[in-house]
Chains A and B, each alone.
Chain A
Amino acid sequence: MAEIKSNAASVEFRGVTKIYGRSKVPAVNDISLHIEAGKLVTLLGPSGCGKTTTLRMIAGLEMATSGQILIGGADVTRLPATDRDVSMVFQSYALFPHMTVDENVRYGLRFSGFPKKEVIERARAGLELVGLSGYGDRLPSQLSGGQQQRVAVARALVLEPQVLLFDEPLSNLDAKLRRHVREEIRDIQQKLGLTVVYVTHDQEEALAVSDRIIVMNNAVIAQDGTPRDLYDAPANAFVADFIGEANIFPCTIESIENGVASVRLGALTISLPGRGGSTPGPAKLAVRPGRIVLHPAGAADTLPGTIQKATYVGSHLEFMIETEFGEAFVTAPDVDAPFKAGQTVGLGFPPRGPVLIGN
């Protein structure tokens, strides 16, 4: 009985740059990263940020213009896709429409020198793993979107690749199915201990499945960390805004002592954990909308503001508040809070609320 195992290996980029054709602007600019074996790492970012190019460079579908790529410690920079031990699940699934499900799943095995019997066994085991036993004779066109997705996963898995790549695998599915499939992917990954690199532009999806998220912007890595790190301590305005929503306030760091920074925000002084690279002087403060607490106007340690708009959205209230630093977006879980448009309020910043970010 064949069983699908894992040959998980690490992936490493050393100063990798990719420039397409005669373009002057690099699609990926001097990126270095390390993905440990057996982890699910997501590349997250807006379209055009270079995340897909990065993924395709791991696959060998694009060749790095400069730098070095290592998989399992071996240099694969110049190796074409065929010769890399990497499988990929495509956004469109890329199931071969002229082959049955079985033929699709066996496709890669045929070119890997497995004996015929083992090819059949493995394909069967692969389909079983994704819960599609008995669908082998169907054509891709006779399956639903979710089933096609799972065939694509099985097809990639049966090769027991060192690294499994997903390129926005859920974007063609409807919202309900998306949640279900993403959990399945995570389950299989954890069960087999696969190294998975996962590209998405959906931050919720990224937060839900990843061991680690690499946020990319403008061809460089904006931040690399666990989902919690990214959400609670965004490194810069871009990450703060891209992952969830954030209010960015200009502030001044007055002093840093023992890792605690004393930050001035208008008339307010807040003590926060300082972050690497923070120095006294002008800085920025990111605050999640739910981390701002509204107080009646004039309350101590608050920033004054005027409510422009109050919206009731069922589970909570949303406010747009005019402050001296521009508009702030605030949510309050208490739907019965006594705040109305036109009212002046005080914005309070509890500890663990605001985060210092780079520029």
Chain B
Amino acid sequence: MKNVYRTAAFAAFFTAGALAARAESLTLYCSADEAWCQQIARGFEEKTGITVDMTRKSSGETYAQVRAEASNPKGDVWWGGTGDPHLQAAEEDLSEAYVSPMRSELYDWAIKQAEAANDKTIGVYSGALGFGYNKDLLAKNGLPEPKCWADLIKPEYKGHIQMANPNSSGTAYTMLATIVQLMGEDAGFDYMKALHKNINQYTKSGSAPIKAAGLGETTIGIVFMHDAVAQTAAGFPIVTVAPCEGTGYEIGSMSIIKDARNPDSAKQFYDWALTAEMQGKAKDVKSFQLPSNKSAEVSELTPDLSTITLIDYDFKKYGSSDERKRLLQKWDTDVSSLPQ
């Protein structure tokens, strides 16, 4: 009797194994927000029947992982996340050059990103830095609406502003770099010191401040504008502000990992991820970044980059690890150690 069971179990095992072996698969490293990543993974599965193993990690972490796995890559495609680490990966030859037939449909900034990296990465979305506030709380506390970076250092906002810690969050680093580029380094750091007095918490993750604002746990959060808009779309009383002085931005990118195990699936995904159809769906999961495909449908909530004053963000300089280390060190010693 026992043997019958054993045989049956073996048979089941092998059948399952054979089935699993036949299915095509794709390993996706996704550095955007979970819902968006899920939508993409499931969307690709439904479209092609290729099983997608998706993991969501921050872009810094994914970069580290890709680098660690370089000799034995486990991922196929890396989608999303701010452009710096993608550029860095391209520079270190961790990603594969690929020119997609979809390129003609993209905005110039997306192609510029690709050209900067010898086609080893490409822009998939873009978003500008800004801040958002909880209008209910603002009213309740009788505070004026903040319009500019300069407003945020006014003493009446003391204890009402949240931003991420630039040591752990790329968003906050982008903000630090933006302020430095906008005001010059000395004035920029003076500004950060003044802002420090008004901050109630430096969060670990980049989008946490606006989420806290949504829940009413802080009044103002410094984040990417699309993150703030997402909170509004989710139903929270959040108003998004594009700072009047101008602001920095990020280009969310995508790369195919070098020596990927499923290169064909990876290219199939890459092309698909640049279609207007796919990019137009981002708004369904409340992602309000600007898609790189010109004809992709956008939500009316999506911040229109053409109406925002954007600085000429120097990705090369401020993306380099030396400059980054220097600025962070300076921020650590000059700003964060001050009493609040």
Answer yes or no: A and B touching, Cβ < 8 Å.
Answer: no
